[in-house]
Amino acid sequence: MPKVTIAQNILAANDTIAEDIQQMLRARGIYTLNIMSSPGAGKTTLLERTLARLQGRIGVGVIEGDIETTADGERIEATGAETVQINTRGACHLEAHMIRDALAQMDMSHLQMLFIENVGNLVCPSSWNLGEDLRVVLTSTTEGDDKPAKYPQMFAAAQVMVINKLDLLPYVDYDLAKVKWQALAINPQLRIFELSCRSGEGLDAWCDWLLTVTVAQHKL
Ligand SMILES: Nc1nc2c(ncn2[C@@H]2O[C@H](COP(=O)(O)OP(=O)(O)OP(=O)(O)O)[C@@H](O)[C@H]2O)c(=O)[nH]1
Ligand SMILES: [Mg+2]
């Protein structure tokens, strides 16, 4: 059997599990976001800041995906959020069966929102459905302003782009307008947030929008 056919079958099997996960999460009224970025763009930091702002307003759970270590899971657990860490042991992306297993360990009874932090990688995670309602690609000012053009599939697959580390703009060669233009050329529907997890700029707008979509989705 040609290798490409095998790969397609694996992705199809993943999609079937992802559909089951999505049905189950929607039935429970849990809105799910898959956060993807290159390593170090600030996924865990954005989650820490977001959880601090959402605390006491809605119930939030987090699945942390990493190749190794429980470091990010421990950072998130410290916020008080329901947290499960996945170690992929070498795999460069999360797959739906990993989410299914993580959810089996999670107390979902009080959750309205679930964040999945994917493995730091701008390539493979975009091909693997996890049952999420929304795909968020995070990019930061320290990565260079050519990322949408060089990794178009990730930006095409996302509904939201967050540009992080605005506080470092004075120190890096980064053309913000170019990044937005490149991303919108690939995906004209992309909703864009610009923020700094360090200074706090833009975080309220991001969190207010998250609350709005959760309320709209589930009529809380
Ligand atoms: N200056 C600045 N640093 C930031 C900002 N957001 C995150 N960082 C720093 O960037 C580094 C990486 O942040 P993480 O949140 O661990 O990044 P990540 O995307 O979760 O990384 P992986 O899980 O390894 O893929 C840390 O040193 C953060 O403190 C920001 O807005 N401004
Ligand atoms: Mg992280």
In whole angstroms, give the CA distance from residue 95 to residue 91.
9
41 lines ligand 1 (CB under 6 A): yes
Helices 3-27 & 96-104 angle (0-180, nearest 10): 30
Best mutation site among 34, 35, 45 for ligand 1 pocket (most ligand atoms within 8 Å of CB): 45
In whole angstroms, give the CA distance from residue 192 to residue 184.
9
Which CATH topology does 3-218 take? Answer: Rossmann fold (3.40.50)
Q: 163-194 pLDDT, tens per residue?
A: 999 999 999 999 999 999 999 999 999 999 99
Q: 111-163 pLDDT, tens per residue?
A: 999 999 999 999 999 999 999 999 999 999 999 999 999 999 999 999 999 99
Helices 43-54 & 203-218 angle (0-180, nearest 10): 70
Task: Give the type of residue at 103.
Answer: L
Which residues fall inside 5 Å of ion ligand 2, going by CB? 43-44, 72
Domain boundaries, the chain: 3-218
pTM of the prediction? 0.95
